[in-house]
Structures are given as C-alpha cells and as structure tokens.
Chains A and B, each alone.
Chain A
C-alpha cells in the first residue's frame, strides 16, 4: 500500500505523454529515416554484389568466346599460310617453266639465225665464186693467153679465193 502512495496520476499521464512524444520524434528522425537507409543500403549492397556476379559471368562468357574465336583465327591463319605456300610454289613452278620455255625459244631463234646466216654466207660465197670465175674467165678471154700470164691469172684467182675464204671464216 505504501507503494501506491508513490503513484500520482498526473505524473503517470505526463510520463506517458513524454514517452509518446519521444516515440513520435524518433519515428520521424530515427526509425523511419535510418531504418529506410539501412534497408536501402542493404538492397544496394545486394544489387552491387549481383552486378559484380553478373559482370564476372559476362567476363567468363566473353573469355570462352574469345578462346573459341582465337582458336578459329589460329586455324584460319594456318590454312592461309599453307595456301600462300602452295600458291608460292605454284608461281615459282610457273616462273621456272616460263624461263625454261623462253630460254629454249631464244636458243631456237639463235640456232635459226645462225643457220640463216650460214645459208646466206654460203650463198654469198657461191655468188662471189661465180663472180670471180666469171671475171677471171672474162679476163682470160680478153687477153692474149701466154704461159706466164696463165700462171699469173691462176695465181691471182687462188689469192682472191683465199681472201674470200679468209673473209668468210
């Protein structure tokens, strides 16, 4: 009963009002703001983690993709190198063949030229011999023939012939 004497209604009501006032003030300044902020931060951290995980997954996917592409590029480059080697071999073969054919044609042409020149020279020689023979014969017929003169004519003819031969050689 002594305890009941310690109670005063006015004080109880005032303390209730005081507590409710504090609750209202804290609801505005602390609970609403700070709890929302904590929730927001929690959600943000979770979303950032999710983003990081997504980015890691994307990087992993890209890595696999690049590995595949790299392997494809390597195979392609190998094929191209092989193709270039083959092409080079073919071109060199063709060049060699062309050079061989050209050399043969030059040789043939040279041979032909030589033969032509020889034929021409032979023909000219023959013409010269004929001319010489005719000239000598004409001289013999125009002049009085004597023993020394005949010898001289024959000797001149032979010299001429030697000269012609020497010039042809």
Chain B
C-alpha cells in the first residue's frame, strides 16, 4: 500500500495502482499526469450529486440530506455575512464552494486508495489564483481603477498626498502584499495537507503495531483538514473585506 517516490513515503491510490498495472501504455501516462485532476473531478461529482439530491425535492419541511445541506449552506452564509456584513451575501457561493471543495479534498485522502488533491501544489495554486483574480476583480469593480490605485497607495490625503515617495512606496508594498497573498494561501494549504499525507504514510509503515498511532494521526488529519479549509475560506473572506469600500470612509 505504500510506495516511495524520491525517498518520500506515499499512500497508494487506485489511480496509481491502475497506472502501475497499465505501465508503459499512454493511458497509464495520462492517469499519472492527471491523477490529481481526476480526484478533483470525482469530488466535484460527489458534491454536485449531494447538492442535487438535497435540493431536488426541497421543501419547507426538510429531509435529512436537505437539512444537512441547509445547515452547511446556512452556516457558510452566516460565516461570510458575519465578516462582510449583509452585503457579503453575494460572495457566499464563491467562498462557500471553496470551503466545501477544500474540505472534501482534504478529507478524501483518509479514504483508502484515494488521495487529497490539495496535497498537490498545482491544485492549491489554482484555487489561490481563483481567489486572487476574484478579489482583484471585486476591488476594481467596487472602487474603480483609480479608486483601487488610491487604495493601494494608502488613500493619501493632505500633506502625505504631496510627498510622492510615501504613496509610491505604499503602492509597491501593497502590490507585493497582494501577490504574496495567493502564494501564502497555496503554500500553506499544500504544505499542511502534504505533511498530513506524509504523516499517515509514515505511520502506516509501522504495520499492525502502528495502528493506534495511525488512528491517532487520522484524528489529527481530520482536525487539520477541517482547520485548513476554514483558514483558507476565512483568509479569502478577509481579503474581500480588505478591498471592499469601508463604510467609515464613505
């Protein structure tokens, strides 16, 4: 169940095993290249089916699945609106989807022969890029191009506006800060989940004697997986809050 790539222990998944069986064929090569995307698409399918079945016969008196989805959706809406205010409701679908997607991907690695796509940097970079682009789009849309540049310059007013140096310096600092945000998001998520997977793979190497340790690590992985999804969503919400016009300024 454990294979080692470049001296790194890794829990095997069904796509890896299939690729091993078909070794040397183009399909095996395809599977190995798109492994993470395939797992992501499986998760997309699972979440979509859950949402479909939950909302298919949605009624005022909900069933169990509808109740679970309502709790999740309602909770995420409260979470987003709690930070961004009632106006933040329009960001709930984006941030909520992000949370559910990351959570499922993080926990998917706990199922035997499956893998956490978020342990892959390309996946987390893709998600961070989505966040970065949407935040920048929102910033420009809400403040206007000049307004956003003004925001990046630290809204210089009065005497500070005449000292070109400080606004320009702030502008560059903010640009760097904006670029670092997706990088930090991607690296944090990938590193944590990758480390969790490593932890599980290492503890699985101990065999039967390592089962208690493995179970304990599984609990840690569940906790950390949930926490990482919350952190990613929370930071995304905060990034939106930072670029939205502040009521005190208006």
Q: Measuring CB to CB, which residues of chain A are less than 8 angstroms from any residue of chain B? A: 3, 6-8, 10-16, 18-23, 25-27, 29-31, 33-35, 37-38, 40-41, 44
Instruction: Please measure, in the bound complex, the distance between the C-alpha atom of A20 and the C-alpha atom of B70, giving whole angstroms.
Output: 22
Q: Which of B19-27, B54-62, B143-151, B227-235 contacts A (4 or more CB under 8 A)?
A: B54-62
Q: Measuring CB to CB, which residues of chain B are less than 8 angstroms from any residue of chain A? A: 33-34, 36-37, 40-41, 43-44, 47-48, 51-52, 54-55, 58, 60, 66, 69-70, 73-74, 77, 89, 92-94, 96-98, 100-101, 117, 120-123, 125-127, 129-130, 187
Contact status B93-A31, CB under 8 Å? yes
**Which residue of A8, A16, A18 contacts B129 across the interface (Cβ within 8 Å)?**
A16
- Besides A11-B122, A25-B44, 9 other CB < 8 A contacts? A6-B122, A7-B121, A7-B125, A14-B126, A19-B40, A19-B97, A19-B127, A22-B44, A31-B93
**Which residue of B36, B70, B97, B187 contacts A22 across the interface (Cβ within 8 Å)?**
B97
Contact status B41-A30, CB under 8 Å? no
| Contact partners of A23 in chain B: CB under 8 A | 93-94, 97
**Which residue of A10, A25, A31 contacts B73 across the interface (Cβ within 8 Å)?**
A31
Main secondary structure of the interface of A (DSSP, over half): helix
| Contact partners of B97 in chain A: CB under 8 A | 19, 22-23, 26, 31
Contact status A35-B77, CB under 8 Å? yes
**Which residue of B36, B52, B92 contacts A29 across the interface (Cβ within 8 Å)?**
B52
Instruction: Please measure, in the bound complex, the distance between the C-alpha atom of A23 and the C-alpha atom of B89, giving whole angstroms.
Output: 15
| Contact partners of A21 in chain B: CB under 8 A | 44
Known contacts A3-B121, A35-B73, A38-B70: A12-B129 contact under CB 8 Å: yes
Contact status B51-A20, CB under 8 Å? no
Instruction: Please measure, in the bound complex, the distance between the C-alpha atom of A75 and the C-alpha atom of B126, giving whole angstroms.
Output: 85
Known contacts A14-B34, A22-B101, A26-B97: A31-B41 contact under CB 8 Å: no
Contact status B48-A22, CB under 8 Å? yes
Of all A-B residue pairs in the complex, the 7 with the closest CB atoms, nearest first, are A15-B126, A29-B51, A11-B122, A30-B51, A31-B93, A25-B48, A33-B55
